C-alpha cells in the first residue's frame, strides 16, 4: 500500500527515538512491498528556535495532508514556564487541528519486565488495560487568564465531546473484556457530572454488552496500584488521563515502553510514545525506543489498516525484550541511566545495557526473524 507519513522528531530524546521508528517503518515497507513516503517537519521547541512557532504552518499543512503523524516528544528547560513561546501549546494545537479527540494508551506488562516495576510481582499478573483519554477538550483547552493576583483555568465539556469519546471506548471494550471504568471527580465538578450522565446513556443505549462502572479519580489512582488487573478500559477526561497514565506506566516498568495513538473520526491518527523529551538524558543515545516502536505498530494498525504488520512489530519488541535486550530505563534498579559508568558486560556477548540504536537493532533483528 501507499502511505504518506509526517514525522515530527521534536525535542530532547524525541529525534533519537523517532530515528528508530523510521528504521522500523522502512523495514515494514521493504518486507511487505509497501510504499511509505516519510516527510520530516520541525515541531516543538526546535521549531520555536528555527521559526518562532512550535507548529509552523508548513508543519501543520504536512500533518493535515498525511495519513498518519509519528511524533517523538517536545519540551525542555530552554522553553520552560517563563519562556515567551512554549512548545506545549503547539502540541495541543496539533491535536486539535487533527481532530484526534480519543487518546488510546494501552498498558501491558511483559513478564520479562516485571522486575523493572517498582510494584510487587504478584500485583502485575494479568494486567491488560487500555486508557481512553479525551484529548481535545477540558481544562487543557479552556480559557486561561489572570485578574490581579488570581489565575484562572476554565474547564468545559459538551455533551457531544463526551459522547464521541465514549463511543470510541465502547467499541474498544466490545473487542476486549467488555468493561469500562469511567473516571471523574463528580463529587466536586459539574463537568464530571455531565461525563457520568452522558457516558451512562451512550453505553446503555448503544453498547448493551458493555459493563460501565464509575470511579472517582482519587480512588482510581489508588485502585490502579492496588488491583490493576480489575481494569479493562479506563475512560476519562484530558487532565485525569494525563496524570493516571503516567501513574499506570509504572505497572509496565517504564514510561519508555508505552505507546499511544490519538484518533478522530477518520483514519488519520497521531502516534507518540507517552514519555516526554527527557532532557536529562537527551543527546546521550540511551533512551528506550520501544514506546516509539510500539507507536509505529499502532500507526500501522489504526491509520494504515496493516494489522499483520502491527502484530509483527509488537511481537518483535516483545521478543527482543524477552531475549534480554535492555535500555538503561528497564535494566533494573542497578542502573537507572543516570550513571556515566561504562555499561557492564552482559550475557552472550551483549552489553547489559543497550543504547537506543542497539535496542533498535535488536528489535529489527527480531522483526526479520519473524518473517
Ligand atoms: C502527554 C504530555 C502532554 C500532555 C504535554 C507535553 C502537554 O504530558 O502527552 O501526556 O499533557 O498531554
Ligand atoms: Mg503526560
* More confident site: 37 or 347: 37
Q: Centre a 10 Å sphere on the Cβ of residue 4 and count the other Cβ atoms it contains.
A: 14
What local confidence, expressed as pLDDT, does residue 191 receive?
A: 98
DSSP string, 158-178: -HHHHHHHHHHHHHHHHTTTS
Within 8 A by CB and 6+ apart from 167, the residues are 202, 206
Residues marked active site are found at 140, 185, 218, 242, 246
Question: Nine-digit cell at 228?
Answer: 490493576
| C-alpha radius of gyration, the chain, whole number | 20
pLDDT at res. 336: 37
Nearest atom within ligand 1 for CA of residue 88: 7
Question: Can you give the residue ranges of every domain in the chain?
Answer: 1-107+253-371, 118-249
pTM, entire model:
0.93
Ligand lying closest to the C-alpha of residue 74:
1
Assess whether pLDDT exceeds 80 at residue 349: no
Domain covering 1-107+253-371 in this structure, CATH number? 3.40.718.10
pLDDT of the residue at 348: 54
60 pLDDT above the threshold of 90: yes
**Whole-number pLDDT of residue 340:** 41
* Mean pLDDT computed over 114-143: 94
User: In b/e form, how buried is each residue of 112-147, taking b as 16+ CB within 10 angstroms?
Assistant: bbbebbebeeebbeebebbbbbbbbbbbbbeeeeee
What is the number of the ligand closest to the CA of 135?
Answer: 1
Name the band, by pLDDT with cuts 50, 70 and 90, for residue 344: very low
Q: Do domains 1-107+253-371 and 118-249 have the same CATH topology?
A: yes
pLDDT digits (tens, 9 = 90+) for 1-16: 999 999 999 999 999 9
Q: Is 118-249 a CATH 3.40.718.10 domain? A: yes
**CA 242 – ligand 1 centroid, Å:** 6
Backbone angles phi, psi at 170, to 5 degrees: -60, -45
Amino acid 114: pLDDT: 86
Q: Hey, what's the cell of 96?
A: 486539535
Per-residue pLDDT band for 350 (boundaries 50, 70, 90) equals low
Which numbered atom of ligand 1 lies nearest the CA of 272? Answer: 9
Amino acid at each position: 500500500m501507499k502511505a504518506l507519513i509526517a514525522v515530527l522528531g521534536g525535542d530532547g530524546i524525541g529525534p533519537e527515538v523517532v530515528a528508530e521508528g523510521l528504521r522500523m517503518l522502512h523495514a515494514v515497507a521493504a518486507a511487505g512491498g509497501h510504499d511509505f513516503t516519510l516527510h520530516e517537519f520541525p515541531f516543538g521547541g526546535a521549531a520555536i528556535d528555527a521559526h518562532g512557532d512550535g507548529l509552523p504552518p508548513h508543519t501543520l499543512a504536512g500533518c493535515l495532508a498525511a495519513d498518519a503523524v509519528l511524533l517523538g516528544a517536545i519540551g525542555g528547560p530552554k522553553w520552560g514556564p517563563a519562556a515567551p513561546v512554549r512548545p506545549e501549546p503547539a502540541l495541543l494545537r496539533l491535536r486539535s487541528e487533527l481532530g484526534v479527540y480519543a487518546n488510546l494508551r494501552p498498558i501491558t506488562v511483559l513478564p520479562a519486565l516485571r522486575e523493572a516495576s517498582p510494584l510487587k510481582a504478584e500485583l502485575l499478573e494479568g494486567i491488560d488495560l487500555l486508557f481512553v483519554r479525551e484529548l481535545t477538550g477540558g481544562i487543557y483547552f479552556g480559557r486561561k487568564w489572570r485578574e490581579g493576583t488570581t489565575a484562572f483555568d476554565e474547564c468545559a465539556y459538551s455533551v457531544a465531546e463526551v459522547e464521541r469519546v465514549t463511543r470510541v471506548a465502547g467499541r474498544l471494550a466490545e473487542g476486549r473484556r467488555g468493561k469500562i471504568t469511567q473516571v471523574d471527580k463528580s463529587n466536586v465538578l459539574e463537568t464530571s457530572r455531565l461525563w457520568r450522565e452522558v457516558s451512562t446513556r451512550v453505553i446503555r443505549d448503544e453498547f448493551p454488552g458493555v459493563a460501565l462502572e464509575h470511579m472517582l479519580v482519587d480512588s482510581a489512582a489508588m485502585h490502579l496500584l492496588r488491583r490493576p488487573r480489575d481494569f479493562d478500559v479506563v475512560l476519562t477526561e484530558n487532565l485525569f488521563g494525563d496524570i493516571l497514565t503516567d501513574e499506570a506506566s509504572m505497572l509496565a516498568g517504564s514510561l519508555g515502553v508505552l505507546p499511544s495513538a490519538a484518533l478522530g473520526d477518520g483514519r488519520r491518527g497521531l502516534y507518540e510514545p507517552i514519555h516526554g523529551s527527557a532532557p536529562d538524558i537527551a543527546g546521550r543515545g540511551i533512551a528506550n525506543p520501544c514506546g516509539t516502536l510500539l507507536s509505529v505498530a499502532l500507526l500501522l494498525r489504526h491509520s494504515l489498516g496493516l494489522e499483520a504488520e502491527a502484530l509483527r512489530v509488537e511481537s518483535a519488541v516483545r521478543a527482543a525484550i524477552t531475549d534480554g535486550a535492555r535500555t538503561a530505563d528497564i535494566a533494573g534498579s542497578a542502573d537507572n541511566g543516570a550513571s556515566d559508568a561504562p555499561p557492564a558486560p552482559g550475557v552472550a556477548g551483549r552489553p547489559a545495557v543497550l543504547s537506543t540504536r542497539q535496542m533498535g537493532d535488536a528489535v529489527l533483528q527480531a522483526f526479520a526473524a519473524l518473517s
